[in-house]
Chains A and B, each alone.
Chain A
């Protein structure tokens, strides 16, 4: 059983936990007023002169927005960078799939936006479960990020006069989202990829596609390298560096069906966790309200339809249970626009966690639509009447085309069918203000860390966080660590720690290949996904989570005794790749359920059925749970540490979008 410290104690005081249990968790928040913290940090941070930077090597794992941004910027600063990705090219990273946009407090719309308002929206959207200083910095660096991407040639949408256009996103009452049609992630990623290859050309970045990190190498307590499997030859390779940056994205494929790319995985995080990096709020998972519904058991993926559709689309279900009429034949008065009904001031633009739960509530109550009664309608009829077909086409054309390609339905003529799906991991490796994990020299940037989003991420803040982490923050904080490493000897791949890590990796691969059981990897992934979706997704309860932990442990046992993987390890073997990732997902699933079980409150996307108001809204318990859980791996068990969140500048309020 996990060790849950102090939870049941009646005499539980925040000051007490902050003194006794958080010794290892120094968040390194700089002094001073909120708006001065980042500047104060930079003033005091150590610098490294250009001739010395050349002597330092950095490994970046992942080539998405945060990875490519970090790798190219570190190379521009003079470091030697090696960048790894499992795909055939850096341009495939899953940042590419973000559709709607990127937020920035530019106040171009003159609608009262400011850095502070954006900070507050983000903190509130996350239900006050993130660090004030980090969240403020995210908002503060958003405006220069737009400048950066425009300079790199991102073709953002423009007004006729040539200035940048904006649109709204959920959980916010201003227009601060910048976009490039419904392909904003693609355009930002391609800009980052271009900048990365600019540095490949100068030989400051060496790119390793089709390469998957299988272990982290720690020497004298510091991250010094990685073990990588060459996915073409199967060869295990060692790479040493003065610092390691993980930029490996989210892990929602633990649910199997998610909006993520099929290859997205949590293995790099999990290996780092097992080597000592604390895992922050692992159970905080965003369930996106507007994905395409599951249609069969064989389905591998739930395609996301951008939240931006909720700007003009209206969500509804029939007022009558089991209404099988075609949606166009259901008259207005027999439709329940339940978001507008429950949340009149935000309506269809309520934050994602709230919109998803509201959909689940209707579907569970028997009002779901579609073949499997697992969806709700997203209707553009009114938007087309109001703005005309061409305007709607201009705004969302590619999304409607995508919907048509996948479902065969013309959404200009009848409403889309949408359903909630596992999407973003707010949780991730715990990092301090410098984005360093609890292993010195190991950094986590982008979705793979737990930093800015708290218990729920606002739409269009994901591209923002990935970019800001990679381009602006890490390149300003890593020097503070590397300055001290300059005096140390460069690590060698002959070090016994490399030998040991490679040997263990090889043994793990051999073990999987030798089981030769009777079930496929996908079989076990479906089993895991079902348990996780049932018990650890949109709503959770004590009994369910306890049952889930037992069930996942059973899945783990049968995986390790009955999985069948064909082929060998010395060739390209896509089945082996899946098996290695799944083995880590299974263990991560246990930790996620453990974390959800421990947090006896509802906050943001974490909804515990036992803790809700009479109206079914989340009930936060600040006096007991205003902390970030940070789990330490302890020989198969997990030990909880707490980073107490102290709110100096804002007063955590009850989140209301009514």
Chain B
């Protein structure tokens, strides 16, 4: 199959970027979207051009490193998948495919389609942990956790940190990402001791990073590869109130 890629090229964080067109032939529908870009890059090398920079690692939808805007949607035309899980069978021969980096002020462009998501790491740094040293743990079964609680914690903990929620949000809010982590840890007995501190400090950092506020449009939930529910955001908001009252 043959498609026309319109791809955002930008040399560095402060360089002027632009969309460039690449007509690519010889693709097939079993190729993943990223394999199609790999193929394009090989063609560029042979034409003595610089390759397009884009991110990926595991290519099985779990590491969260890949992620681009495809035809105006985070991770492409389907709901709840990562870019690496998108295959060319989702496009038609002759299609034009527009590829852009995540757009959010808190995710500055590094190069071409690569953005800097270290703001997420800094939110994690502010409390997405249980302060217990290696070697101090009690017997694992000494604290029972009901299946319902464990399952709900797992639902939230499944976040892969790709940033699609931020990219899909008109306010560039990181509320889904932050709430998922807070709810995962705060709902487990092990995380209770620090729950209010964690909620307060992680949400403070989220604001310091310049992410917008959540206006509950639900766009994030549609794109999240792990289908993390926006009810997490409501739960986080309740926790913020509680942390203000009880901390």
The chain A residues found within 8 Å of chain B, CB to CB, are: 69, 72-73, 76, 87-94, 96-97, 106, 108, 144, 146-148, 150-153, 155-164, 180-181, 183, 185-187, 190, 193-195, 197-198, 200-201, 207, 209, 232, 261-263, 295-296, 298-301, 303-304, 402, 405-406, 408, 471-472, 475, 518, 520-523, 564-567, 571-575
Give bound CA distance, A210 to B45, whole Å.
Answer: 23
Across-interface contacts of A153 in B (CB, < 8 A): 129-130, 153, 184-185, 188, 190-191
Q: Would you call A195 and B129 a contact (CB within 8 A)? A: yes
Closest CB in chain B relative to A331 CB, distance in Å = 30
Q: Would you call A146 and B128 a contact (CB within 8 A)? A: no
Closest B residue to A523 by beta carbon equals B42
Q: Would you call B44 and A198 a contact (CB within 8 A)? A: no
Contact with A along B79-91 (1 / 0, CB 8 A): 0010001010100
Determine which of A106, A155, A197, A572 lies in contact with B129 in the assembled complex, contact meaning CB atoms within 8 Å.
A197
Give bound CA distance, A405 to B60, whole Å.
Answer: 10
Question: Apart from A89-B118, A162-B145, A183-B154, what are 12 other A-B pairs with CB-CB below 8 Å?
Answer: A73-B133, A73-B134, A87-B63, A96-B62, A97-B60, A146-B140, A150-B137, A198-B131, A201-B126, A471-B134, A566-B48, A566-B50
Q: Would you call A300 and B34 a contact (CB within 8 A)? A: yes
- Which residues 177-215 in B have Cβ within 8 Å of A in the complex? 184-185, 188, 190-191
Give bound CA distance, A518 to B48, whole Å.
Answer: 10
Closest CB in chain B relative to A488 CB, distance in Å = 27
Give bound CA distance, A263 to B48, whole Å.
Answer: 23
Give bound CA distance, A573 to B11, whole Å.
Answer: 11
Q: Would you call A151 and B65 a contact (CB within 8 A)? A: no
Q: Would you call B144 and A163 a contact (CB within 8 A)? A: yes
Q: Is there a chain A Cβ closer than 8 Å to B116's Cβ?
A: yes
Give bound CA distance, A202 to B126, whole Å.
Answer: 10
Q: Is there a chain A Cβ closer than 8 Å to B125's Cβ?
A: yes
Interface-facing stretch out of B94-102, B155-163, B228-236? B155-163
Give bound CA distance, A572 to B38, whole Å.
Answer: 17
Q: A197-B124, A197-B128, A296-B31 are in contact. Are A92 and B145 (CB under 8 A)?
A: no
Q: Would you call A194 and B129 a contact (CB within 8 A)? A: yes
Q: Would you call A152 and B190 a contact (CB within 8 A)? A: yes
Q: Would you call B139 and A147 a contact (CB within 8 A)? A: yes
Across-interface contacts of B128 in A (CB, < 8 A): 194, 197
Q: Would you call A298 and B60 a contact (CB within 8 A)? A: no
Determine which of B114, B117, B136 lies in contact with A151 in the assembled complex, contact meaning CB atoms within 8 Å.
B136
Across-interface contacts of A106 in B (CB, < 8 A): 140
Interface-facing stretch out of B1-9, B51-59, B165-173, B237-245? B51-59
Closest A residue to B61 by beta carbon equals A402
Q: Would you call B81 and A405 a contact (CB within 8 A)? A: yes
Give bound CA distance, A522 to B11, whole Å.
Answer: 23
Q: Is there a chain A Cβ closer than 8 Å to B92's Cβ?
A: no
Determine which of B39, B50, B55, B58 lies in contact with A298 in the assembled complex, contact meaning CB atoms within 8 Å.
B39
Can you give 27 contacting A-B residue pairs, CB < 8 Å? A87-B57, A89-B65, A91-B64, A94-B58, A97-B62, A146-B140, A150-B143, A151-B190, A153-B188, A155-B157, A155-B184, A158-B144, A158-B145, A186-B62, A194-B130, A195-B134, A197-B125, A232-B110, A262-B59, A298-B35, A300-B35, A303-B59, A406-B87, A408-B89, A471-B134, A520-B45, A567-B50
Closest CB in chain A relative to B103 CB, distance in Å = 17
Closest CB in chain A relative to B106 CB, distance in Å = 14
Q: Is there a chain A Cβ closer than 8 Å to B21's Cβ?
A: no
Q: Is there a chain A Cβ closer than 8 Å to B147's Cβ?
A: yes
Q: A88-B116, A183-B158 are in contact. Are A155 and B188 (CB under 8 A)?
A: yes
Q: Would you call A147 and B138 a contact (CB within 8 A)? A: yes
Give bound CA distance, A408 to B56, whole Å.
Answer: 21
- Interface size bracket, B side: 35 or more
The chain B residues found within 8 Å of chain A, CB to CB, are: 11-12, 28, 30-32, 34-35, 38-39, 41-42, 44-46, 48-51, 53, 55-65, 78, 81, 85, 87, 89, 110-111, 114, 116-118, 120-121, 124-126, 128-141, 143-147, 150-151, 153-154, 157-158, 160-161, 184-185, 188, 190-191
Give bound CA distance, A161 to B126, whole Å.
Answer: 33
Q: Would you call B51 and A575 a contact (CB within 8 A)? A: yes
Closest B residue to A182 by beta carbon equals B62
Q: Would you call A575 and B41 a contact (CB within 8 A)? A: yes
Q: Would you call A566 and B150 a contact (CB within 8 A)? A: no
Across-interface contacts of A88 in B (CB, < 8 A): 55, 65, 114, 116-118
Across-interface contacts of B120 in A (CB, < 8 A): 89
Determine which of A94, A151, A564, A573 lies in contact with B57 in the assembled complex, contact meaning CB atoms within 8 Å.
A94
Across-interface contacts of B39 in A (CB, < 8 A): 298
Q: Would you call B51 and A566 a contact (CB within 8 A)? A: yes
Closest A residue to B141 by beta carbon equals A163
Give bound CA distance, A567 to B48, whole Å.
Answer: 9
Q: Would you call B46 and A150 a contact (CB within 8 A)? A: no
Closest CB in chain A relative to B210 CB, distance in Å = 18
Give bound CA distance, A144 to B139, whole Å.
Answer: 8
Q: Would you call B125 and A201 a contact (CB within 8 A)? A: yes
Closest CB in chain A relative to B50 CB, distance in Å = 5
Across-interface contacts of B158 in A (CB, < 8 A): 181, 183, 186
Across-interface contacts of B45 in A (CB, < 8 A): 520-521, 564-566, 575
Across-interface contacts of A72 in B (CB, < 8 A): 134
Q: Would you call A198 and B134 a contact (CB within 8 A)? A: no
Give bound CA distance, A161 to B150, whole Å.
Answer: 11
Across-interface contacts of B78 in A (CB, < 8 A): 405
Q: Would you call B50 and A159 a contact (CB within 8 A)? A: no
Closest CB in chain A relative to B233 CB, distance in Å = 19
Give bound CA distance, A575 to B85, whole Å.
Answer: 22
Closest CB in chain B relative to A209 CB, distance in Å = 7
Determine which of B57, B124, B136 lies in contact with A261 in the assembled complex, contact meaning CB atoms within 8 Å.
B57
Give bound CA distance, A94 to B134, whole Å.
Answer: 22
Closest CB in chain A relative to B193 CB, distance in Å = 11
Q: A194-B129, A295-B30, A575-B45 are in contact. Are A261 and B140 (CB under 8 A)?
A: no
Closest CB in chain A relative to B101 CB, distance in Å = 13
Q: Would you call B140 and A150 a contact (CB within 8 A)? A: yes
Q: Would you call A162 and B137 a contact (CB within 8 A)? A: no
Q: Would you call A522 and B139 a contact (CB within 8 A)? A: no
Across-interface contacts of B129 in A (CB, < 8 A): 152-153, 194-195, 197-198
Among A183, A197, A472, residue most surrounded by chain B Cβ atoms (within 10 Å): A197
Across-interface contacts of A194 in B (CB, < 8 A): 124, 128-130
Across-interface contacts of B56 in A (CB, < 8 A): 262
Closest A residue to B65 by beta carbon equals A92
Q: Would you call A572 and B53 a contact (CB within 8 A)? A: yes
Give bound CA distance, A87 to B38, whole Å.
Answer: 18
Q: A300-B59, A301-B60 are in contact. Are A151 and B157 (CB under 8 A)?
A: no
Q: Would you call A161 and B81 a contact (CB within 8 A)? A: no
Closest B residue to A146 by beta carbon equals B140
Among all A-B residue pairs, the 3 with the closest Cβ atoms: A162-B144, A151-B137, A147-B137
Closest CB in chain B relative to A308 CB, distance in Å = 15
Closest CB in chain B relative to A92 CB, distance in Å = 4
Give bound CA distance, A565 to B128, whole Å.
Answer: 41
Closest CB in chain A relative to B227 CB, distance in Å = 9
Determine which of B51, B87, B188 lies in contact with A574 in the assembled complex, contact meaning CB atoms within 8 Å.
B51
Give bound CA distance, A574 to B53, whole Å.
Answer: 7
Closest CB in chain B relative to A177 CB, distance in Å = 14
Closest CB in chain A relative to B213 CB, distance in Å = 24
Across-interface contacts of A164 in B (CB, < 8 A): 140-141
